[in-house]
């Protein structure tokens, strides 16, 4: 089962990169605001109107 | 304040290209799946053509729907949403198109090589090494494009979908490279570097995470973009999306061994896989609930809008599959479900429901927007929805029934303590009606997809394609970072070498904690003295077994249950597979296990069985393999094959392939021919069938020859 070593190293590599990404994201303020990002992503396209019969673009 | 307003254009052409590829490959991949489904109850459907036998087109189906349909779907959605979330055009147009054409070329290469029998036999990683290298190159191009776009974004905050995309790109690269370690023996043949139980562990570590990071994380990212967009309301809880993202990616990577419960894999690895699998319910349901709760107060829209209808059904299917998956990873449940159609039902609940419906939803959302028009027919889209739902129901319910039926029949003893159904074929004939119903379900589902293709085609015809969307946004200003609080991390960022060293140290500490016990615990590396490498003729036979995809229906892994040892013989031990490059344990039984096939039937029985399975077993659903009787074996490639096997650790003596191997092969082939003669069969010794018979007669006989050696081998699997 020595192959477990490879898998653990690969798993840890992925995990550590994720950890680094998490630390970076938390420290750089990515999660300071958990309200506006959810709203802001809705606003980047032309507004969408949904009527009873179909979906149209203004 | 917006003095530095910039004008730029989103690239819609690449999005359209991937969207069209998604539809085309989706239809192809599902049609191949339907053909495979029909062959299971109508063996004559193969028309005795080698290229379309079940064993060869099953991998074609799985690769096509996973990497061609879902893969192109993922790239469609990522390239559309990434530009808009980052307020930036994709990093490089050249890389975008290299990515597109590279990926389509790989798919075509797969569609050509798999029916020809060029396969590594490792599930969802069947493509041979030149194509594997191409996949790695194209994947790196995709990753560069993804990260490059993120780096030049004009929106400081990275929306949660982007995190899912990043996790996908990184993890798939690591998985693909680790599982593709293979030793070439010619252009379209290679042997896995790992053997037996080790190969099995790597394969299912990969296989499970292909589900996790190819079918799940990118699609969750798409859900987080397209669901709020389609409903025009913010995600229920942005905080929950962040928490469940980090929890999901940290837990998923360890759950692979649940594909190997009760096999010859050490118990501790099995238990580890089971525990992590159960933990996965929490983050998975975090995503599902977040998606469904976003629609609070918006369910009236679901009634009207096919985009949301498909979305809701997809998220619900995700929730069901991610509850069922952990339950199936419980050892006692798995003892019943494994090797049966239950697994197929589970995979298709997730595949047709989650990936399929989310892709359709996204396409119905995108086409009217890309073409600046309305959807051509909402009514037709609604018909597609209901036809698709019916298709899923007609697919999975019969297959659940079939799976549980098989599982129970295999285990049933009569009151005298004998197997109630000693003939495996009885258990297959019992489920044939279910297999027929399943094909009807698949047909309905494909009919729905064809409707969608027509609807989207008409939508495109009616509208005017917008190749680029011009937008304006302020450039991202560098906000001065506060002093003190971030000083340490800034220092790290400024010293990449120091940062790398710290990371390596962290990896090594974690690694050693796990590695040292590995070297101390001897049971983990059991060896059996009587297990010997395959003879040259058996090597060729084994490669034919791989070429024909036999493991699509026949496992080589007897689990330590009385019902299995009664039926097949002594349970399988890890030490029996130390020369198996790759392992051929299989994951599905549409025919009996072959781990102890050697010596069960005379050579002539196998000869007749391969020519026409129904001549020896009336009612069998196995296809005919008449070409094995006429085609000559590939003797020229033997030296390259033996050399490659020696390089990965099989102890053939040096120079064995330069003469002695050929003599040994000849002698063994002559013996098989003599055996065949006794069974009133005349055969040439240089035909493929001779090699295959030699291999089948070898299976599982090594430990019959000598008493099972050390006790250490017994302790691991005996429980």
Per DSSP, the residues of B266-295 read: -HHHHHHHHHHHHHTHHHHHHHHHHHHHTT
SS (H, E, C) B105-167: HHHHHHHHHHHHCCCCCCCCCCCCHHHHHHHHHHHHHHHHHHHHHHHCCCCCCCCHHHHHHHH
Residue pair B87/B471 in contact by the 8 Å Cβ criterion: yes
The yes-or-no verdict on residue B652 having pLDDT over 50 is: yes
Which of B95-109, B220-234, B492-506 comes out lowest in average pLDDT? Answer: B492-506
The yes-or-no verdict on residue B412 having pLDDT over 70 is: yes
Q: Which residues of B touch A38 (CB under 8 A)?
A: 228, 234-235, 238
Which of residues A49 and B214 earns the better pLDDT score?
B214
The pLDDT-based confidence of B496 (bands split at 50, 70, 90) is very low
Which of residues A44 and B198 earns the better pLDDT score?
B198
Block residue for tokens 């490792």: B122
Q: Do B307 and B452 belong to one domain? A: yes
Q: Which residues of A touch B171 (CB under 8 A)?
A: 14
The residue among A5, A16, A17, A18 with the most chain B CBs within 10 A of its CB, best to mutate, is A18
Beta strands at A48-50 and B190-192: parallel, antiparallel or unpaired:
unpaired
A38 phi and psi angles, rounded to 5 deg: -65, -30
**HSE value, Cβ hemisphere, 13 Å, CA-based, for B580:** 27
- A22 Cβ under 8 Å from any chain B Cβ: yes
Average pLDDT on B455-470 reads 94
Residue B462 is predicted with a pLDDT of 94
CB contact under 8 A, A50 and B159: no
Q: Does residue B548 fall inside a structural domain?
A: yes
CA dihedral sign, ordered B255, B256, B259, B265: negative
Q: Does residue B530 fall inside a structural domain?
A: no
Q: Which residue of B has its CA nearest to A56?
A: B374
Residue B529 is predicted with a pLDDT of 82
B478 phi and psi angles, rounded to 5 deg: -75, 110
- Give pLDDT tens digits for B48-86: 999 999 999 999 999 999 999 999 999 999 999 999 999
- B173 Cβ under 8 Å from any chain A Cβ: no
Residue B42 is predicted with a pLDDT of 95
Per DSSP, the residues of B338-355 read: TBSHHHHHHHHIIIIIII
Structure tokens at B201: 């562990």
**Residue (of B147, B273, B291) closest to B219 by Cα position:** B291
CA distance B604 to B610: 10
Average pLDDT on B599-604 reads 94
CA distance B211 to B209: 5
Residue pair B348/B396 in contact by the 8 Å Cβ criterion: yes
Average pLDDT on B668-678 reads 95
CA distance B281 to B325: 9
Distances (CA, A) of B231 to B307, B312, B555: 9, 11, 46
Q: Do B582 and B454 belong to one domain? A: no
Q: Do B374 and B507 belong to one domain? A: no
- A43 Cβ under 8 Å from any chain B Cβ: no
Put residue B598 in one of left, alpha, beta given phi > 0 → left and psi -120 to 50 → alpha: beta
* Contacts with B430 (C-beta within 8 Å, 6 or more apart), sequence order: B405, B406, B409
Per the structure, the count of domains in chain A is 1
Block residue for tokens 């008449």: B626
CA distance B302 to B304: 5
- A58 Cβ under 8 Å from any chain B Cβ: no
Residue B89 is predicted with a pLDDT of 95
Residue pair B243/B286 in contact by the 8 Å Cβ criterion: yes
Strands, E assignment, B389-513: 468-474
Per DSSP, the residues of B430-458 read: HHHHHHHHHHHHHHHHHHHHHHHHHHHHH
Residue B91 Cα to chain centre, angstroms: 30
Structure tokens at B156: 């400081």
Q: Does residue B140 fall inside a structural domain?
A: yes
Residue B337 Cα to chain centre, angstroms: 18
- B253 Cβ under 8 Å from any chain A Cβ: yes
Residue pair B28/B521 in contact by the 8 Å Cβ criterion: no
**C-alpha triplet A1, B280, A37: angle, nearest 5°:** 125
CA distance B589 to B343: 11
Q: Do B190 and B256 belong to one domain? A: yes
Q: Do B581 and B511 belong to one domain? A: no
- A35 Cβ under 8 Å from any chain B Cβ: yes
Q: Does residue B407 fall inside a structural domain?
A: yes
Residue pair B358/B222 in contact by the 8 Å Cβ criterion: yes
Structure tokens at B649: 């650790």
Q: Do B302 and B423 belong to one domain? A: yes
Residue pair B442/B388 in contact by the 8 Å Cβ criterion: no
CB contact under 8 A, A45 and B229: yes
- B228 Cβ under 8 Å from any chain A Cβ: yes
The pLDDT-based confidence of B489 (bands split at 50, 70, 90) is low
The yes-or-no verdict on residue B279 having pLDDT over 80 is: yes
Q: Do B181 and B308 belong to one domain? A: yes
Which of residues A51 and B396 earns the better pLDDT score?
B396
SS (H, E, C) B292-316: HHCCCCCHHHHHHCHHHHHHHHHHH
Q: Does residue B478 fall inside a structural domain?
A: no
- Give pLDDT tens digits for B336-354: 999 999 999 999 999 999 9
Q: Which residues of B touch A45 (CB under 8 A)?
A: 84, 229, 369
Q: Do B590 and B504 belong to one domain? A: no
The yes-or-no verdict on residue B197 having pLDDT over 60 is: yes
CA dihedral sign, ordered B559, B562, B565, B567: negative
* Contacts with B687 (C-beta within 8 Å, 6 or more apart), sequence order: B628, B629, B630, B631, B632, B633
Q: Which residue of A has its CA nearest to B226?
A: A42
Residue B618 is predicted with a pLDDT of 93
Residue B713 is predicted with a pLDDT of 42
Residue B45 is predicted with a pLDDT of 93
Q: Do B130 and B259 belong to one domain? A: yes
Residue pair B391/B448 in contact by the 8 Å Cβ criterion: yes
Structure tokens at B312: 């809701």
Residue pair B533/B664 in contact by the 8 Å Cβ criterion: no
Average pLDDT on B210-228 reads 95
B588 SS3 class: strand
- Give pLDDT tens digits for B364-376: 999 999 999 999 9
The residue among B147, B510, B713 with the most chain A CBs within 10 A of its CB, best to mutate, is B510
Query: Residue B560 belongs to what H/E stretch?
Result: none
* Residue B706 DSSP label: S
CA distance B126 to B548: 12
Block residue for tokens 């960022």: B493
Q: Which residues of B touch A20 (CB under 8 A)?
A: 503
Average pLDDT on B87-114 reads 96
CA distance B441 to B388: 9
CA distance B37 to B437: 10
- Give pLDDT tens digits for B142-164: 999 999 999 888 888 889 999 99
Q: Which residue of A has its CA nearest to B181?
A: A6
Structure tokens at A46: 């032309």
Question: Is the N-terminal amide bond of A50 cis, ω within 30° of 0?
Answer: no
| Radius of gyration of chain B measured on its C-alpha atoms | 27
Residue B97 Cα to chain centre, angstroms: 26
The pLDDT-based confidence of B253 (bands split at 50, 70, 90) is confident
As beta bridge partners, residue B632 has: B687
The pLDDT-based confidence of B530 (bands split at 50, 70, 90) is confident
Residue pair B640/B184 in contact by the 8 Å Cβ criterion: no
Q: How far apart are the first and last CA of chain A?
A: 61
The yes-or-no verdict on residue B472 having pLDDT over 80 is: yes
Q: Which residues of A touch B465 (CB under 8 A)?
A: none
* Residue B576 DSSP label: G
Per the structure, the count of domains in chain B is 3
Whole-number mean pLDDT of chain A?
Answer: 75
Q: Does residue B500 fall inside a structural domain?
A: yes
Which of residues B193 and B68 earns the better pLDDT score?
B68
The yes-or-no verdict on residue A51 having pLDDT over 90 is: no
Residue B467 is predicted with a pLDDT of 93
**Closest Cβ opposite residue B253 in set A6, A14, A20:** A14
ipTM (interface pTM): 0.77
In this prediction the pTM is: 0.90
Structure tokens at B620: 């069998």
Residue B413 Cα to chain centre, angstroms: 34
Block residue for tokens 């047709």: B352
CA dihedral sign, ordered B388, B394, B395, B397: positive
Average pLDDT on B409-422 reads 95
- Give pLDDT tens digits for B556-592: 999 999 999 999 999 999 889 989 999 999 999 999 9
**Closest Cβ opposite residue B511 in set A5, A14, A41:** A5
Q: Does residue B526 fall inside a structural domain?
A: no
The pLDDT-based confidence of A43 (bands split at 50, 70, 90) is confident
Q: Which domain holds residue A9?
A: 3-57
Residue B520 is predicted with a pLDDT of 40
B5 SS3 class: strand
Q: Which domain holds residue B500?
A: 488-520
CA distance B713 to B709: 8
CB pairs under 8 A between A and B: 131
CB contact under 8 A, B84 and A44: yes
Cα torsion through B383, B386, B387, B393, rounded to 10: 180
Beta strands at A55-57 and A48-50: parallel, antiparallel or unpaired:
antiparallel
CA dihedral sign, ordered B355, B357, B358, B362: positive
Residue B706 is predicted with a pLDDT of 52
Chain A: closest CA distance from residue B262 (Å): 16
**Closest Cβ opposite residue A18 in set B159, B229, B250:** B250
Residue B510 is predicted with a pLDDT of 41
Task: Work out the percent of chain B whose per-residue pLDDT is above 90.
Answer: 78
Structure tokens at B591: 């025919």
Beta strands at B182-184 and B190-192: parallel, antiparallel or unpaired:
antiparallel
Question: What b/e readout covers B285-304, taking b as 16+ CB neighbours within 10 angstroms?
Answer: ebbbbbbbebbeeeeebbeb
B8 SS3 class: strand
- Give pLDDT tens digits for B175-189: 888 888 888 999 999
Q: Does residue B622 fall inside a structural domain?
A: yes
Residue B463 is predicted with a pLDDT of 94
The yes-or-no verdict on residue B484 having pLDDT over 60 is: no
Residue B511 is predicted with a pLDDT of 40
* CATH number where B56 lies: 1.20.210.10
Which of B85-94, B226-235, B477-486, B640-649 comes out lowest in average pLDDT? Answer: B477-486
Average pLDDT on B536-546 reads 97
């Amino acid at each position: 089962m020595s192959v477990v070593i490879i898998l653990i190293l690969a798993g840890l590599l992925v995990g550590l990169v994720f950890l680094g990404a998490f630390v970076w994201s938390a420290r750089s303020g990515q999660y300071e605001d958990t309200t506006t990002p959810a709203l802001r992503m809705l606003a980047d396209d032309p507004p969408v109107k949904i009527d009873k019969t179909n979906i149209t673009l203004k | 304040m917006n003095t530095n307003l910039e004008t730029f254009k989103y690239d819609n052409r690449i999005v359209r290209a991937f969207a069209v590829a998604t539809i085309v490959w989706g239809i192809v991949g599902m049609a191949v799946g339907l053909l495979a489904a029909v062959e299971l109850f109508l063996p004559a459907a193969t028309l005795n053509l080698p290229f379309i036998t079940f064993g060869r087109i099953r991998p074609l189906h799985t690769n096509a729907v996973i990497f061609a349909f879902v893969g192109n779907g993922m790239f469609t959605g990522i390239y559309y949403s990434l530009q808009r979330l980052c307020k930036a055009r994709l990093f490089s147009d050249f890389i975008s198109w290299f990515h597109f054409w590279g990926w389509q070329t790989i798919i075509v290469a797969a569609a050509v090589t798999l029916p020809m029998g060029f396969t590594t036999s490792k599930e969802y990683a069947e493509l041979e090494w030149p194509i594997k290298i191409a996949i790695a190159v194209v994947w790196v191009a995709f990753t560069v494009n993804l990260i490059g776009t993120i780096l030049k974004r004009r929106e400081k905050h990275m929306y949660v979908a982007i995190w899912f995309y990043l996790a996908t790109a990184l993890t798939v690269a690591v998985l693909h490279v680790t599982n593709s370690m293979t030793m070439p023996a010619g252009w379209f043949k290679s042997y896995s570097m790992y053997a037996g139980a080790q190969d099995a562990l790597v394969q299912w570590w990969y296989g499970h995470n292909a589900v996790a990071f190819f079918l799940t994380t990118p699609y969750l990212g798409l859900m987080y973009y397209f669901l709020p967009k389609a409903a025009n309301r913010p995600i229920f809880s942005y905080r929950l999306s962040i928490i469940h993202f980090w929890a999901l990616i940290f837990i998923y990577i360890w759950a692979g061994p649940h594909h190997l419960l009760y096999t010859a894999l050490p118990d501790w690895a099995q238990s580890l896989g089971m525990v992590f699998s159960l933990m996965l319910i929490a983050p998975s349901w975090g995503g599902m609930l977040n998606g469904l709760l976003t629609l609070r107060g918006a369910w009236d829209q679901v009634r009207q809008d096919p985009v949301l209808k498909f979305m809701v059904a997809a998220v619900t299917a995700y929730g069901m599959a991610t509850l069922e998956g952990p339950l199936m990873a419980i050892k006692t449940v798995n003892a019943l479900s494994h090797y049966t159609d239950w697994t197929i039902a589970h995979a298709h609940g997730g595949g047709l429901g989650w990936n399929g419906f989310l892709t359709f939803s996204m396409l119905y959302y995108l086409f009217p927007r890309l073409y600046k028009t309305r959807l051509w027919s909402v009514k037709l889209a609604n018909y597609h929805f209901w036809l698709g739902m019916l298709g899923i129901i007609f697919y999975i319910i019969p297959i659940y029934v079939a799976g549980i039926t098989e599982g129970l029949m295999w285990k049933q003893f009569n009151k005298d303590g004998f197997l109630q159904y000693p003939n495996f074929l009885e258990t297959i004939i019992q489920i044939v009606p279910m297999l027929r119903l399943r094909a009807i379900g698949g047909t309905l589902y494909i009919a729905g997809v064809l409707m969608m293709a027509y609807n989207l085609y008409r939508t495109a015809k009616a509208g005017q394609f917008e190749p680029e969307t011009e937008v304006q946004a302020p450039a991202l200003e560098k906000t001065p970072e506060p002093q003190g609080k971030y000083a340490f991390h800034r220092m790290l960022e400024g010293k990449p070498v120091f940062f790398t060293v710290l990371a390596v140290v962290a990896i090594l500490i974690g690694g050693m904690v796990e590695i040292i016990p590995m070297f101390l615990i001897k049971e983990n590396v059991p060896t059996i003295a009587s297990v010997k490498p395959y003879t040259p003729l058996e090597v060729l036979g084994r490669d034919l077994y791989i070429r024909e995809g036999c493991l699509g229906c026949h496992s080589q892994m007897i689990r330590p249950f009385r019902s299995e040892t009664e039926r097949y013989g002594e349970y399988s031990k890890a030490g029996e597979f130390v020369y198996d490059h790759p392992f051929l344990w299989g994951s599905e039984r549409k025919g009996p296990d072959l781990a102890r096939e050697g010596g069960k039937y005379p050579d002539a029985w196998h000869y007749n069985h391969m020519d026409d399975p129904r001549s020896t077993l009336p009612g069998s659903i196995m296809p005919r393999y008449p070409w094995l009787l006429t085609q000559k074996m590939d003797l020229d490639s033997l030296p390259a094959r033996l050399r490659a096997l020696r390089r990965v650790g099989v102890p053939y003596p040096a120079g064995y392939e330069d003469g002695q191997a050929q003599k040994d092969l000849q002698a063994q082939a002559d013996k098989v021919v003599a055996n065949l003669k006794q069974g009133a069969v005349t055969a040439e010794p240089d035909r493929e069938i001779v090699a295959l018979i030699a291999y089948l007669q070898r299976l599982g006989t090594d430990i019959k020859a000598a008493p099972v050696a050390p006790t250490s081998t017994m302790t691991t699997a005996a429980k």
